[in-house]
Structure 1
Amino acid sequence: MTFEPEQLGQSSQELATKLRELRKLAGLSGVRLAARCNMSQSKVSRIENGKVRPSLVDVEQILRALDAPPHMIAEVSALARLANTEWRNLRELRRKGLGTRQAELKALEASSTRLRYFLLSMVTGLLATPEYVRASLAHSPTDTSKAVAGKLARQAVLYDASKQFTFILTEQAVRWPVVSPLALAEQMDRLSSLSYLPNVRIGLIPAGAPTPTNPLNTFTTYDTSLATIETSAGLLVLRDDRDVSSYLEEFSGYEESALFEEDAREKLAEWSASCRS
């Protein structure tokens, strides 16, 4: 099945309808299908009504229970992949407004407990100084005042002790000259200060440090249920368990390569002194 990026995330209802049709063709009730899949009947009902987005594993279980033919397995599995993957291009993000995007991120952070951020080229807004935040949005063609306020307001979540944050930054992300050298030194000082929070881990990967794979993109994982990948053209949102797991595994590899705690603070102090000189 071929598709355009804009189709991603838009096939949920089509998937629900197809699964319901297949169940009826197989002559099974929702109760019998649920028993075969070891699911609750209410979950099967919510999937068929488009109220719950099934994972690829859920869909595979249902297709096996229905003894679906190979061509139908391929078609429905492709629909499931589309339903669990969403693409947001920059035009869409700008049309909705950067302030709206900050509200979406705030909701994601509020609903998650374990958050992991791999930062390849810049410091995330959660860790940024006000000057860094404003400079990071300076090239936007739209009004950024609400976005700046939203980014700064979101930082309060770092002090929620019920949540655990791990940030891994490359040396490039920390030292990229988004602001003047003095302001960049202040940004590094803030990273060092935040690393003392008991629920915040900040790791650094110095240039030249070996990593298990070559990092290609900035990405974030929210618990084990969602991953977002940032590219220069837009944002990719993954909800399938196996896709999210692959990014969690990649993140774990970077953790092994990173400096944490006092080692990280010493490196930040070295880079900060270099900026001030």
Structure 2
Amino acid sequence: MTFDPQRLGQSRSDLAEVLRDQRRRAGRTQTWLARRCNMSQTRVSNIESGKLTPSLVDVELILEALGTEAPVSAEARSLARVANTEWQDQWSSRRRGLDKKQNELARLESISTEFRFFLLSMITGLLATPDYVRASLADVPGDQSKTIAKKLERQRVLYDSAKSFTFLLTEQAVRWPLLPPLAMAVQLDRLVSVSRIPSVRLGVVPLGGHIPEKPLNTFTVYDRRLATVETGTGALLLRDHRDVTAYLRDFETYERHAIFGDECRGLLAEWASGFARRRT
């Protein structure tokens, strides 16, 4: 399926209209449908009014209960897939203020318990030193002090024992010289320190040897319900269980090529020493 960013916001209301129309054509009430689908009547009402985005499972249950014909079922499934996808372009985020984006991420982190980060080309904010955070925002015009402060504040979530984090960083992500050598050495020391936090599992995928996989994007999976995929101009938020499952499988594949624990810390220390020796 091709996603048109212009359509992502409209698809939920279109899906609501299709489902509402099919229920009425079938001569059924929301109460009857809720009972057949093991949902609350409030949930059915919110789906039909467009206030709530139904999952693919919700849509399948509703279509089956109503005996919807194949062409309409196909249309509804297609709309549900798009409705469970959100596009956040970087220009809109910048207009709203990147500190607002940090608030959204903090809320998402507060309600999630299991995190998987695949970092292809850069170190993520949760692992970054203040210098690295500032450098990552250097191309954004205006005063970004609030955004920097909130990025650093979010790092406290790593110490929440109720949560678990797995970070997979490619060698490129670790060694990309975003900062001068000494500052990069400090950043790699930070990775070593974070790797010792009980809730954190940090691994590096070295570029030596044979890696037949071909990763294209940095992505994060929150629990098993949301995957965010970063591009050069924004991020896709995917809630369709098929998309999330696909990224979970990708993560497991890359994880098999990563090194962890003392071996990982030894490699990070070696690279940090290399940066420190350069000094300038």
TM-score (norm 2): 0.93
- Cα deviation for residue 38 of structure 1 reads 4.1
Task: Write the letter of the residue equivalent to 1:104.
Answer: E
What corresponds to 2:106 in structure 1? 106
What corresponds to 1:268 in structure 2? 268
What corresponds to 1:122 in structure 2? 122
Task: Write the letter of the residue equivalent to 2:197.
Answer: L
What corresponds to 1:165 in structure 2? 165
1:275/1:238 CA distance change after superposition, 3 Å: same
- Tell me the distance in 1 between the aligned counterparts of 2:29 and 2:77: 22
Aligned length, in residue pairs: 277
What corresponds to 1:253 in structure 2? 253
What corresponds to 2:80 in structure 1? 80
Deviations 1:83-123 (A, max 9, x none): 11011112111111111111111111111111111100000
What corresponds to 1:89 in structure 2? 89
- Tell me the distance in 2 between the aligned counterparts of 1:232 and 1:6: 18
- Cα deviation for residue 15 of structure 1 reads 1.6
- Cα deviation for residue 212 of structure 1 reads 6.0
1:209/1:101 CA distance change after superposition, 3 Å: farther
What corresponds to 1:131 in structure 2? 131
| Secondary structure of residue in 1 paired with 2:256 | helix
What corresponds to 2:46 in structure 1? 46
Q: Structure 2 unaligned runs (5+)?
A: none
- Tell me the distance in 2 between the aligned counterparts of 1:9 and 1:244: 20
Displacement over 6 Å in runs of 4+: none
- Does structure 1 residue 18 correspond to structure 2 residue 18? yes
- Does structure 1 residue 220 correspond to structure 2 residue 220? yes
| Secondary structure of residue in 2 paired with 1:257 | coil
- Tell me the distance in 2 between the aligned counterparts of 1:252 and 1:210: 17
Percent identical residues: 57
Checking the alignment, whether the CA contact within 8 Å between 1:9 and 1:84 is kept in structure 2 is: no
Deviations 1:27-48 (A, max 9, x none): 1222332344344444333322
69-78 or 231-240, larger mean C-alpha shift: 69-78
Question: Which runs of structure 2 are paired with 1:163-202 in the superposition (5 Å)?
Answer: 163-202=163-202
TM-score (norm 1): 0.94
- Cα deviation for residue 178 of structure 1 reads 0.4
What corresponds to 2:231 in structure 1? 231
1:30/1:212 CA distance change after superposition, 3 Å: farther
- Cα deviation for residue 250 of structure 1 reads 0.9
What corresponds to 1:153 in structure 2? 153
Checking the alignment, whether the CA contact within 8 Å between 1:211 and 1:253 is kept in structure 2 is: no
- Tell me the distance in 1 between the aligned counterparts of 2:175 and 2:4: 37
Q: Structure 1 unaligned runs (5+)?
A: none
- Does structure 1 residue 34 correspond to structure 2 residue 24? no
1:209/1:39 CA distance change after superposition, 3 Å: farther
Task: Write the letter of the residue equivalent to 1:199.
Answer: S
| Secondary structure of residue in 1 paired with 2:28 | coil
Checking the alignment, whether the CA contact within 8 Å between 1:170 and 1:204 is kept in structure 2 is: yes
| Secondary structure of residue in 1 paired with 2:167 | strand
- Tell me the distance in 2 between the aligned counterparts of 1:267 and 1:231: 28
- Tell me the distance in 1 between the aligned counterparts of 2:64 and 2:115: 34
Checking the alignment, whether the CA contact within 8 Å between 1:94 and 1:142 is kept in structure 2 is: no
